[in-house]
Chain A
Amino acid sequence: MGIVTDKLPGALEKVPGGNVLVTRFDEIINWARASSLWPLTFGTSCCAIEMLMATGGPRHDLARFGAEVARPSPRQADLLILAGTIVKRMAPRLRTLYEQMAEPRYVIATGACTISGGPFIYHSYTTVRGADEIIPVDVYVPGCPPRPEQLFHGLLTLQKMIKEGETIREPGVRRKPVISALPEGITLEDIQGEMKELLVKENVVDVQHAVDKLKWPSGLNEQSSGKSGANESGAGDGT
């Protein structure tokens, strides 16, 4: 198991003969969707070595984030990691690939080249200045090439966006694209400390908190909290 970044949203209740999970359909679909993104192997140049090969390797291991099943066919993929320069001759092919992917589809643009043209921005007669001239992009990951850790940060950002994002009533609503750069002055120790804190905190599930967060219609809320001390009994099983 790798890092569990988020638990299944919902409230777990003990009833005789098993448990009952109370949750919302949107939440559970988004949770499942965000945790099993299948990327398309689309690497055109230098960034591909870092984004597709080094991250797939044993040290960085994309599998920890549930996104290691790289597919060469766009029909089976739902995440397009743009790794490498897009030139004018490749642009129609990229558009075709994007349109062949099934909805919902997400795009991470990695590297300076896919953001703005990168080192080839001036005087080049072939480079496309940014992939967002051709297809919509969800997350930008800057760098030339970005480190594998940076791609992971981008991936976590995308997962967060998906979890907060769509509902069944309004599928495919696009949020504004974001840049996934670490803020300045953050060190490895900070991240590790935060991670540790999070793991300790998440070890105990506060059902009441989850129920409050979900904002049920008021009648349901009363019902579930009214049922004999669900807080304490649910806390043990939730982990």
Chain B
Amino acid sequence: MTVEVSSLKELVEQASGDDRSPDTQEYFVNMGPQHPSTHGVLRLVLKLDGERVLRCIPVLGYIHRSIEKISEHMNYMNCVHLTDRMDYLSSIMNNWAVSKAVEEAAGIEVNSRIQYIRTIFAELERIQSHQLWWGVLGMDLGAFTPFLYGIRDREVLNDVMEETVGARLTMNYVLPGGLMADIHPNFVHRVKEFIKYFRPKLDEYDDLLTNNVIIQERLRNVGILSPQTAVQYGATGPVLRGSGVAFDLRKDHPYGVYDQADFEVPVGTIGDSWDRYWVRVEEMRQSLNIVEQLLDNIPPGDFLVKKLNSKIKIPEGRYYSQLETARGVLGVFIASDKKDEPYRLHYRSPNFNNLWCLEPMIKGDYIASLIGAMSSLDLVIPDIDR
């Protein structure tokens, strides 16, 4: 197998060679890295013909913090803390991914209380992440009100989680071998209250955005991603499911205690921005269902299997483990040389693959559609660059 690597200069030269239009001039526009709707510091080199997007080349590296390299100098306990800063909206799921990989490789068994709590927190965080995405999608399309609604509900959930975790964003809650702390005595009660609070709010979301004519017009039949392309590009999460491929690790390779919960995996039909929108809103409902079912059955037990010191040693070899974050499949690859530090730690981040779906989605469409389509991908840039 050969891999072709082309520099940005070559790509731009190649793209500027074939000017097909007889009466208009095609030109390049840089979108980003300082741009309000690229959600961070993503840079897109756009080739435009009038308002039509002919090419869209993402340029990365503006927030590359070399997390993988730093991890090679850290023991497995410390590696976990850097993963919060990758996809900061799924921080507990990121912690869990590394912990899961280390536990599988080192042969640490965790009890079912830990698994229950991890699963509940992961689902709560999925809701939280989608709430923020929902608000920001509205803002990207020019409506400020949804942002206020989304943040309002996010703060309510944030308070519930903060009581146990102690942090608002970078939570650092899951460790190899257990959890940082036991759940707060109020936790179960407050989550139940939150579920009661948030169910009607989801209908409000529907009134505000889902059934809104403008939103429908801007999202329907825009940025269509065929299932074949999605699979080819390695898209995962709501982006893949929006294209009609019902692939969800929570269902297909259950981890945690997802096999004990009864939930559905929402899938889209044609793979336009609308489908991806609908899948995420529907996922919030399913996550509420999962939490509701698991909440009353948390078994008693310890929150840490045993007092682990930082010297977890993993036998020589290569290990891979993955789970489903709010944005797709996060894979953790560990190459170990029998020391307490990884020889190589690699993350297969969902956003990286989802980003490259942007060009096939948007080719030939208007530049205004690009914003909506990009928003429906729900990108977190530090997770792409790491």
Mark A residues whose CB is within 8 Å of B: 41-46, 48-50, 53-54, 56-59, 72, 74, 84-85, 87, 89-90, 93, 97, 119-120, 122-127, 144-145, 147
B147 contacts A by Cβ under 8 Å: yes
Q: Among residues 14 to 36 in chain B, which have CB atoms less than 8 Å away from a CB atom of chain A?
A: 33-36
**B59-90 Cβ-contact flags toward A at 8 Å (1 or 0):** 00111111101101100000001101100110
Nearest 9 A/B pairs, CB to CB: A57-B151, A72-B36, A46-B88, A45-B382, A123-B73, A59-B155, A90-B62, A124-B66, A123-B70
A residues in contact with B81, CB < 8 Å: 119
Q: Check B66 against A58 for contact (C-beta < 8 Å).
A: no
B169 contacts A by Cβ under 8 Å: yes
Q: Check B155 against A120 for contact (C-beta < 8 Å).
A: no
- Cα distance A46–B84 in the bound complex, in angstroms: 9
Q: Check B168 against A45 for contact (C-beta < 8 Å).
A: no
Mark B residues whose CB is within 8 Å of A: 33-36, 40-41, 61-67, 69-70, 72-73, 81-82, 84-85, 88-89, 132, 136, 147-148, 151-152, 154-155, 168-170, 381-382
Q: Check A49 against B169 for contact (C-beta < 8 Å).
A: yes
Q: Check A54 against B63 for contact (C-beta < 8 Å).
A: no
Given contacts A44-B381, A89-B61, A93-B33, 12 further A-B contacts (CB under 8 A): A45-B88, A45-B381, A53-B136, A53-B151, A54-B168, A56-B147, A58-B151, A87-B61, A90-B41, A93-B62, A124-B70, A145-B169
Q: Check A57 against B382 for contact (C-beta < 8 Å).
A: no
B residues in contact with A127, CB < 8 Å: 65-66
Q: Check A49 against B73 for contact (C-beta < 8 Å).
A: no
Q: Check A45 against B40 for contact (C-beta < 8 Å).
A: yes
- Cα distance A144–B172 in the bound complex, in angstroms: 12
Q: Check B152 against A58 for contact (C-beta < 8 Å).
A: yes
Interface centre among B40, B63, B155 (most CB of A within 10 A): B63
Q: Check A57 against B62 for contact (C-beta < 8 Å).
A: no
Q: Check A42 against B34 for contact (C-beta < 8 Å).
A: yes
Check A126/B35 contact, CB under 8 A, given A119-B85, A147-B168.
Answer: no
- Cα distance A84–B154 in the bound complex, in angstroms: 21
Q: Check B155 against A85 for contact (C-beta < 8 Å).
A: no
